[in-house]
Amino acid sequence: MTDTSLPPAAEIRGLTLGYRTRQGLVAVLHDISFSVGRGEVVALVGESGSGKSTLAHALLGLLSETAEISARRMLLDGVDVTDLDEAARRRLHGRKVAQIPQDPTMTLNPLQRIGRQTVEPLRIHGLLREPRALSARAVELLARVGIGQPEARVRQYPGALSGGMRQRVLIASALSSGPALLLADEPTTALDVTVQKRILDDLGALLRAEGLSVLLVTHDLAVAADRADRVIVLKDGRRVEQGPVAQVLRHPRAAYTRLLIDSAPQHGPVSATVPSSVQAGAAPILQVEAVVKDFAQGAGQLRAVDGISLSVHAGETVALVGESGSGKTTLGLLAELRARHGIGYLFVSHDLAVVRRIADRVLVMRAGQLVEAGPTHNVFDRPRQGHTRDLLAAIPGQGLSAAVSDPRHPLLPELEE
């Protein structure tokens, strides 16, 4: 709940930013104004290139030397950051304001152990100095963000972790010092849906417990609908709309906002007649039986695939779903190629919102085993296994679908009739 008795955690008025080039100044942000109240989650939404991340970096002073920035006011936790020198900015960053970066490969030091990097803000700002206490805090933080065996992970280097785990380390580090404002730049892009839900639940719990304010930078309107109090929509560096989440979703004023809403995955029953060019009785173009794959692990072996059987027919899309991996190919192009050439797809993804839109059949894996399989509408509407139900429950966008489909949905009580 927003605390209106205190000044906003962030207040921006008239922010304009551009980059000097040989051809002149290239404008990127145009007269942006907004605020983030105490205990409030504000989502900054837009497509790639809209200026979302540039705006977040401007708040932290993380811009190149070619940047030219001006603002009537730019306050973070009551501190005007427009004229801070580098030393003052470092003191502010990580203690009062922390960032969850988008790309862990560009942020984590490959030559430092995970534990040290997790608690680096505490050490740098003198909040905790005793080595054993720092080590214990690192273990606690890694466990909090969903990393298994945290006692062992703190001694490892980033190269030993998956991309999702590395992203979780960044989240743990940002949370370590309990900042007043958290700038979360696509904070769960690399995570499986179940872990994403747990991480965002943790951020919500921290918000409620400590009054933390969050500026959530995301392209995912479903995440914004589920997690934010207010939303700001950016397009080409301009603010085209802002307001309470439910109001913006139900009554968007800008055509661009309506386009984002219409493009976002919606929850609801899956059609039992998914368009497909599969010929009845035709032989599959791919068929595997009882596949097993082991990897050496120390003195033993790790079984990654345990007796998997599957088939794919011409013109059919089969989705192989699990808690790691993602589909990143344009869905429209895939559908066009399938219709034109009768191509069959084995679509490997953890993104069930995408799977719902593209697949004829779904295979669900867990720990190397096939736990459920069937037509997409059966798996989504009548899942048999608990693991499948957990994956479906973790898909973001419950708030988006409810707000769009039911104007009486109490996403914000004041909008009820």
Span 313-341, mean pLDDT? 56
pLDDT value of position 330: 43
> Is residue 2 predicted with pLDDT exceeding 70?
no
Span 271-294, mean pLDDT? 63
Percent of the chain at pLDDT exceeding 70: 79
Range of lowest pLDDT (31-35, 250-254, 266-270): 266-270
pLDDT value of position 401: 59
> Is residue 60 predicted with pLDDT exceeding 90?
no
pLDDT digits (tens, 9 = 90+) for 286-326: 677 777 777 776 777 767 667 777 677 776 766 666 554 33
pLDDT value of position 403: 56
Q: What is the mean pLDDT of the chain?
A: 80
What are the structural domains of the chain?
10-96+179-263 (3.40.50.300), 286-394 (3.40.50.300)
> Is residue 383 predicted with pLDDT exceeding 70?
yes
pLDDT value of position 16: 96
Span 271-298, mean pLDDT? 64
> Is residue 221 predicted with pLDDT exceeding 60?
yes
> Is residue 263 predicted with pLDDT exceeding 50?
yes
329 or 129, which is more confident?
Answer: 129
> Is residue 231 predicted with pLDDT exceeding 90?
yes
Span 74-80, mean pLDDT? 86
pLDDT value of position 319: 67
Span 53-71, mean pLDDT? 87
> Is residue 394 predicted with pLDDT exceeding 90?
no
pLDDT band at 273 (very low <50, low <70, confident <90, very high): very low
Range of lowest pLDDT (220-224, 228-232, 393-397): 393-397
pLDDT digits (tens, 9 = 90+) for 84-138: 787 787 777 767 888 888 778 889 999 999 999 999 999 988 889 999 999 999 9
> Is residue 37 predicted with pLDDT exceeding 60?
yes
> Is residue 193 predicted with pLDDT exceeding 50?
yes
pLDDT band at 366 (very low <50, low <70, confident <90, very high): confident
> Is residue 45 predicted with pLDDT exceeding 90?
yes
> Is residue 402 predicted with pLDDT exceeding 70?
no
Range of lowest pLDDT (156-160, 329-333, 337-341): 329-333
> Is residue 203 predicted with pLDDT exceeding 80?
no
186 or 173, which is more confident?
Answer: 173
> Is residue 23 predicted with pLDDT exceeding 50?
yes
pLDDT value of position 415: 30
Residue 157 near residue 113 (C-beta atoms within 8 A): yes
Q: How would you classify the pairing of strands 230-235 and 97-100?
A: unpaired
pLDDT value of position 399: 61
Percent of the chain at pLDDT exceeding 90: 29
52 or 333, which is more confident?
Answer: 52
